[in-house]
Structure 1
Amino acid sequence: MPIILEKGQKIDLTKGQPGVAKLQVGLGWDPIGQSGGFLSSLFGSKPNIDCDASVIMLENDRFLNKNDLVYFGNKLSACGSIIHSGDNLTGEGSGDDETIFVELHKVPSRINRLVFVVNIYDCVNRRQDFGMIQNAYIRIQNPQTREELARYNLSENYGGKTTLVAGEMYLDGSEWKFSAVGEGTQDKNLSEIVSRYQ
């Protein structure tokens, strides 16, 4: 049974679990159906919202190197510690919409924090925000045992927000921890999100 996290809650990932070296981070969401009358019920009523998950690797809590960003356009970190599964364009279907694999023992010692964010692609032109998304979550799983270790359901109303900082993995001494952040921002693209950490 996974630990269900509340906003701001922190858990140990590696302390007391020396065998946990690789983690699978799943992010999921569903578009909210829009009521548009009889015709929209015949021809589909869910907006096509393209959410993108990314990982920002921080050195002393700062983003210092463009190679420390993993997203659909750069699916493998330079050090090989983070692998992105690729872009899900719709958020349709059950299960994780995007998956990121993290091998903690490969993360360079200079990196102390991994920030997991989700933003809406082309949100301004499409006039979309996270008020049009439901059932958003971030979960951490042991890919070897398939055991879900923790889950954070992003259940707040994020209307007007175009980016979500879902959670962070961070070093506390020599141990990795996870923090459920759940912060919505109005950043319009990945560059704006990254600039918050420069």
Structure 2
Amino acid sequence: MALELKLSKPGDAAPKLSLNLAKPARFTVELSWDSAHDLDTHALLATNGGSGAKVTSFDQVLSTYNAKKTNPQGVLTTNADGSFSTPEGGITHSGDARTGVNLDVDETLSIDGSKIPAGVNEIPIFVTIHAAGAANFSSVKNAGIRIKNDQGLVLGEYLLSNEFGPFNAVQMGSLLLDGSGWHYLAAGSGFNGDFNFILSHFS
């Protein structure tokens, strides 16, 4: 047992009260495109113990394919406004946009670091084209994705139509939790396959 002394003396001023002024990390992922294709954003509440990020439950999978509104077998409950969230509310999806012809930003993910479950230290973020094989990003007009912090600073951005033209799926990157908090690590990894192909590498 290590020796330890109380480092105060009679007459020392009482320590002042102080609060931790660091705010929980919050991030927004914005996906946009300008054509009739159906793009989707997805995120995983993963644990990475050094051998890659893994999920073990569908509660950890934020995807339109896992929302009860779009899939009766899904486990994620749809909110009153059409969005859906992971059970603890750490990640919320704005709702499935079937085309990209009406809005400037078609789908968003809102990530609240204060609500991420204990043990989760990586949040991989993906974009896919629904009905994999029917199209790739070069056939989608003005497809792009960006991630911002809570001050609106863009931490990462990809022009999917140009940079990932031959592919129908992209891992944008991951939010990583370490001793200093949450931060974004870009990946920019394009591939061809559906969302179950992605899950096969993370489960």
Give a deviation string over 1:82-111, Cα, whole Å, max 9, x none. 111001111224532211111101111211
* Structure 1 equivalent of residue 92 of structure 2: 83
Identity across matched positions, percent: 24
1:151–1:67 distance in 2 versus 1, CA, 3 Å:
same
* Structure 1 equivalent of residue 55 of structure 2: 63
1:18 corresponds to 2:22: yes
Structure 1 gap segments, 5+ residues each: 1-16, 32-47
Pick aligned residue for 2:118 from 102, 109, 112 = 109
1:30–1:141 distance in 2 versus 1, CA, 3 Å:
farther
Count of aligned residue pairs for this structure pair = 160
Q: CA deviation at 1:174?
A: 4.2
- 1:136-147 to 2 correspondences below 5 Å: 136-142=144-150, 147=152
Contact 2:126 2:169 in 1 (8 A): yes
Aligned residue identity for 1:186: N
- 1:16-165 to 2 correspondences below 5 Å: 18-31=22-35, 48-60=36-48, 61-72=53-64, 73=67, 74=76, 75-93=84-102, 95-124=104-133, 127-133=134-140, 134-142=142-150, 147-154=152-159, 156-165=162-171
Contact 2:27 2:147 in 1 (8 A): no
Structure ID, larger Rg: 2
Contact 1:30 1:136 in 2 (8 A): no
By percentage of residues, which structure has more strand? 1
Where relative contact order (Cα < 8 A, 6+ residues apart) is larger, the structure is: 1
Q: CA deviation at 1:163?
A: 0.6
Structure 2 gap segments, 5+ residues each: 1-20, 68-75, 77-83
Contact 2:173 2:188 in 1 (8 A): yes
Q: TM-score, normalised by structure 2?
A: 0.70
Q: CA deviation at 1:136?
A: 1.2
* Whole-angstrom distance in 2 between the partners of 1:92 and 1:122: 18
Contact 1:154 1:182 in 2 (8 A): no
Q: TM-score, normalised by structure 1?
A: 0.72
Q: CA deviation at 1:192?
A: 1.2
